[in-house]
Amino acid sequence: MESSNLDKQFGRTADDPRYLDFQNSKPGSGLNKFSSTLTREHDFPAAQAMLYAAGVPNEHVLKNYPQVGIASVWWEGNPCNMHLLDIGKEVKRAIEGQEMLAWQYNTIGVSDGITMGGDGMRFSLQSREIIADSIETVTCAQFHDACITIPGCDKNMPGAVMGMTRHNRPSIMIYGGSINPGYSDLLQKDINITTALEAHGAYIYNSLANPKDPSQTKDDILSELEKKACPGQGACGGMFTANTMATAIETLGLSLPGSASTPATSPEKMRECKKVAAAIKICMERDITPRKCLTKKSFENALVMMMALGGSTNGVLHLLAMAGTAEVELTLDDFQKVSDKVPFIADLAPSGKHLMKDLYDVGGVPSVQKLLIAAGMLDGSTITVTGKTLAENVESWPSLKQGQEVIRSLDNPIKATGHIEILYGNLAPNGAVAKITGKEGMVFTGKARVFNKEHELDDALNKGQIPKTENLVLIVRYEGPKGGPGMPEQLKASAAIMGAGLKNVALITDGRYSGASHGFIVGHITPEAAVGGPIAVVQDGDVVTIDASKHRIDMDVSEDEVKRRFESWKPPRMTVTRGTLAKYARLVGDASHGAMTDLF
């Protein structure tokens, strides 16, 4: 095995005993080349006895049928995930119809929407690693020949792909699909989860009102939004993190055409299950594995789609981690290169007015891919799990509907370049990620107001203590991967700022934002405060300038003054010393490399 550039970057060598290549265990020659380790002859009689007990009907099936694991991220307490068990059952039936054995199993999920703004959010990003660990563990321990994953919420998708990439056996991801829009009878308009979150800011600053009926109280309006923003199953409906990752993964070639934009409740989502059963057999016959799809070209394609559609800043974190797992070199600078040349053309929430359901109605993700391939922005030659190239997958797909307003034409973009800006400066020597749609301008200068944890800013907002009278750069620190721990999303704060109409405010953090966040926001500042990054010594009143046009984020503090401040700085005491978060904090890398835990 040759050393990759990634190995050199992280100090690994080709003969490193920490490599464990499960692909070397191939006693069989058919589609059951892994499972036949257990089922051939009588080498593992106890294993065969257990498989008969689990439902294998006879010796012919045991000896000849390949075994496919079906990993759903199902649990009942979240609309993104509540329906995934049913999708898994439909996949199981379809797999069995292809003369293969199908074994359903499950892994964990965390609801970002439910945990947002509380300590539960610290468990969200680390759930990505647990999901990847679970899929890798079951696939390799049980000698599955192939893997189908069914994620729904945003950390689910990269976690599933990272697990698939680690075991690198024929694999396909089915996205659980996005939710339909809600509807407010009081406001007489479509609403979604962001509506409820941003309404909270207006509620706090006493500006939540219904212009059509001034008699309605702010409590009446907020209660209505809470009850009706999420009408049923499916992931949050805008170009938030879940849909960003589903779109990227479809573009990477690991899910079927249309998977990312097909709504959760549509009949087509269930029909996708049957198509996946046929496709996984093609992958097994042709040995199409995740790492064959995950190439530098396919990742560049994913970045193009992310910029064109206005994807979440979390996409940067997750794509870096997925590429790192696949040992494909991808850096923050790659995101900037793509952002500089790809126009932002999607009028999708959170910054726009449409949802993924609207994109589905005008052609879906494949129609956008078709547009960008024709324009020479996407490389259509990359391989996919259908056995065809990306271009071949969308060749017969309908073009975007005439007259639609969801996706702008390339010569009339919302912004001539992408919305993701990678910033460097004396506040972020190793990089930071900004989401700048252009609506907020490209430059912001203000006085720093520092908060050492997200809850401190939330408390200040709840008390109406952030004034509208001067430009402020609100700084939330000690919320990075190690410092959080867990790098929690800060949608509660960013949504409150938008809802309150605080246009005089920018928000920066060594933590991260939800895909539903928008405004003048910068996250993923590295090094993070907990490990001694410069953000740790910013003081109230320091002047901070964010210049997206120059890709800079700086504080007006001299290098000598920064050194002086660090002389009296001490690393904070770890707030968590036992359990999964403590383990995560010890293992996790920095955000500029995807906050991975397996970089040795």
d(CA 7, CA 591): 18
Query: In 367-456, where do the E strands start and end?
Result: 420-425, 428-435, 443-451
Residue in 294, 293, 85 with CA at minimum distance from that of residue 176: 85
541: left (phi over 0), alpha (psi -120 to 50) or beta: left
Beta-strand pair 543-547/443-451: antiparallel
58: exposed, middle or buried (C-beta count within 10 Å: 0-12, 13-18, 19+)? exposed
Q: Chain centroid to CA 224: how far?
A: 29
Active site residues: 514
Q: Chain centroid to CA 549: how far?
A: 26
Helix (H) or strand (E) holding 547: strand 543-547
Q: How far is CA 247 from CA 156, 256, 296, 570, in A?
A: 14, 11, 17, 42
Longest dimension (CA), the chain: 79
d(CA 326, CA 291): 6
Helix (H) or strand (E) holding 272: helix 267-286
In the structure encoding, which two tokens stand for residue 591, read together?
């955000």
For residue 413, count other CB atoms closer than 10 A to its CB: 18
Asked if 69 and 144 touch (Cβ cutoff 8 Å), the reply is yes
Residue in 458, 480, 493 with CA at minimum distance from that of residue 534: 480
For residue 466, count other CB atoms closer than 10 A to its CB: 20
